[in-house]
Amino acid sequence: MQKHSKPTLKPGLLALVTFLPFIGFFSILDQPAGYDESVYDFLFRNVLTHVDPERAHHMSLTALRALDTAGLGSYFAEMYGTAPDPANVLGLRFPNRVGLAAGFDKNGSAIRALARLGFGHIEVGTITAHSQPGNPKPRLFRLTDHEAILNRMGFNNDGARQAVFNIRAELKKLRVLPESRRPIVGINIGKTKVVPAEDAVSDYATSARLLSPLADYMVINVSSPNTPGLRDLQAIDTLRPIVDAVRAEADEAVRNPRSTLGHVPLLVKIAPDLNDQDILEVTDMCIDAGVDGLICTNTTINREVLSGKDKELAQAEAGGISGRPVADRSLEVLRLIRSHTDALTLVSVGGIETAAHAHERLAAGASLVQGYTGMIYRGPGWASQITKGIRHA
């Protein structure tokens, strides 16, 4: 395994480093545009890249929550706010079509703080029935030449029961926001690593029973490459029982769903590395099982999407790649599924960096778009910039 140098910044400076992007943003509040991506880009390239990626992530999330708790959320709203551009999808009214993909807020502990950044929906997780530490560190790497991330986090989270406590508290906090700006909250669930494959159905069912009462929509994640055997659950014979069990638990737990569909909308997140025939088979099974939509796609394990030093690093490390390198395949999968059926709502994620990219996905048949890596490289104004761009397209 390739060795990696430790961060060059001393630990005592990390807190300051975490707050620097926000300090930079506050300094330009009086500018007409309200947000200058070049400020973030300078800080990211020259400061944040010297901090271990996972540590930077945790400290940034902590800083964002602290600033929101301290009453500075109104500043975020001023900087990143955009006029509502509502969309009715999955029987729910989304403030806009741009969402935060699962993986950023794994435990559902920063929903309101992230809502200040202009997201129309926030997908928390991936959450497993039981708490787990994830894979050994280091497990998160920047591929800066490709504006990509390599991760093998392994569903590190505090478990479904703690997530219930966190999400319930965050949903109460959302009540202070104008109704037109309250994001839809999705909950993404996965298999606990130590649970054997033959017990996967009951594991997913436990998460669904606990979490569905808090979810505007639910997502079954069987496509992460970082839990051994998880992607095998995408096979029709193993995926169908999971879908049926999650649907049954959600229907039992939620008698008055918020969606006008009459149930908690259920989506399945698929991998970009499935061949086209397998994708269509999964699609047909989801239609037959009453799944409401697909999220396409998760990270890729294909190293041929990279070149140069980024490829060398990725070949030496296990994990999935997100960001720009997955964009082409994500769009291909979206077009493939939409050409095959109109029966499912499609959410497109993977390599969406600009409003033009988002508009392309919407034109190809997506009802919603999501991002995570795009925000890492483009800054906290990413969602509001894309929303504005879509509205003016």
Catalytic residues: 224
Q: What are the start-end ranges of the E strands in 67-139? A: 87-89, 92-94, 98-100, 121-127
- Determine how many CB atoms are found less than 10 A away from the CB of residue 313: 18
Cβ-contact 98, 118 below 8 angstroms: yes
Distance separating alpha carbons of residues 337 and 342, to the nearest angstrom: 8
Distance separating alpha carbons of residues 155 and 162, to the nearest angstrom: 14
Q: What are phi and psi of 346, to 5 degrees?
A: -115, 135
Distance separating alpha carbons of residues 144 and 295, to the nearest angstrom: 25
- For residue 191, the one-letter residue type is K
Instruction: Name 168's Cβ contacts closer than 8 Å, sequence gap at least 6.
Output: 214
Distance separating alpha carbons of residues 5 and 285, to the nearest angstrom: 46
Buried b (16+ CB within 10 A) or exposed e, 358-367: bbbbbebbbb
